[in-house]
Each structure stands twice: as structure tokens, then as C-alpha cells.
Amino acid sequence: MELNVKEHLNNLIEALMALSPSRNYVTQFLMMLPQDYPTLYDAYPEILRDEEIRNILTQSFGISLGAKIDAGYGFGNQIRDFISRIFTALEDEKVRNALNELLQNVRREPIPNLCKEWAELRLRGVSMEPTYGRDSLRVFRLLAETKEPWEYRCDLSDMISKTGINEATMRRIIELMDRFRLIEKDDIGGKEGYRIASKIRAYVQDLIKEQV
């Protein structure tokens, strides 16, 4: 029987895609670390309420379980590093196009940009938060539409004045968006400010069009 190399290559691509946190519950958990225990318990109860799975996380994956859950330096962290490498490789449009052309007769769908797909899932997760989801999208849009004096960045005072959201609520929104790795603190000139996270800036406009 003739070996179908393209099918084997496609199997490899499918296996790599299956590791993406946008498609895998366990790697999603790993990529959200570090986080406070209560926060992660609310988000991933099926993982943290099961003693057997908790033991696997600590003994096999090297996850540190405490008031804050950390990826540690073991197998779990190695998986995170590997996924980051997959993200980097498949962010390159030339790489995806070459693979899609080669595998066009064996794939049903084109190979996606997994980093962008993960960003879309996180923004969707924020939008579904029952208390602050809607206002979080308003804040994300404000940052996305800000061009001057710094692209995708606003002082906290401007975030409050331009949205009409009070400071207490704004800080809860900031905490939520930071938890989902959508924004990062960016103080300039002694003024507290926030900016869209560096790893998703390339996709900001697409995220706005598709989800906001």
C-alpha cells in the first residue's frame, strides 16, 4: 500500500491544533495561569473539584496549587511553551498558506491562526460575564479605537470619563480583562493607564469586527 504522506502531515497538523487552548479544555486551563485559586475554580470547576485530577496536575504537570495557582517549571509549563511555539509558527500567513495549498485535497477547512482564535475565545469569555461583560466590550472598543497619543492605550481617567463608568466598576472591568490577558498595565508620565495586550494587538480590528 502506498504511503499517503499528505494524510500523515494533515494528522500532524490536526494533533497540533488539538493542543490549542481554543480547542482543548486542559491546555486552556494551563494557558490561563497564573491565577488566584477561587477565580480558576469558578472558571474550571471540573478540573479543580476533582481530587484525582488535582493530584495529576501537581504530581505529573508540576502545577503549584495554593492561594494562587502557578504553572511551575515542569511538564505543564513545557506544554505552555510548546503551544506558544505553535502559535508563533501558525501566525505566519506564508506558513499557513503553504500548508493549506499542500493539503487542500485532504483538509476540509483551512488551517486557522490559532493565536487569533485563542484571542477571540478570551474576548468572547469576557463578553459573557453577566455583570461586567457588556461594559468590558465598551472599554475594549475604546482602547481599540484610540490612536493618539499612544495606540491602543488610555489613561485610567480617560477610560472613566469617556465611558461614563465609575472608578470602582472600571477597576473590576480592568481586573476581568487582565485575567483574560486582553489588556496590560501601561503607566506613562506617572499616570495610570492600560493598553491592549501586546500579543493580540495585531488582531484588534478583526476582534472588533467579529465580536464587539
- What does the pLDDT look like over 13-56, one tens digit per residue? 999 999 999 999 999 999 999 999 999 999 999 999 999 999 99
Question: Whole-number mean pLDDT of the chain?
Answer: 94
Q: How far apart are CA 173 and CA 65, in angstroms?
A: 26
- Of 139, 193, 194, 189, whose CA–CA distance to 166 is shortest? 139
Which residues 6+ apart lie within 8 Å of 164 measured at CB?
none
Give the C-alpha separation, 194 to 165, whole Å.
15
Q: For the chain, list the domains and their CATH numbers.
A: 5-112 (no CATH), 122-211 (1.10.10.10)
- pTM for the whole structure: 0.91
pLDDT bracket for residue 209 (50, 70, 90): confident
Q: Which of 65-79, 88-102, 145-159, 198-212 has the lowest mean pLDDT?
A: 198-212
pLDDT digits (tens, 9 = 90+) for 61-90: 999 999 999 999 999 999 999 999 999 999
Cα distance between the two ends of the chain: 51
DSSP H or E run through 97: helix 93-102
- Chain-centroid distance of CA 107 in Å reads 26
Which pLDDT score, from 0 to 100, does residue 210 have?
75
Read out DSSP for 71-96? -TTSHHHHHHHHHHHHHHHHH-HHHH
Indicate if the pLDDT at residue 3 is higher than 80. no
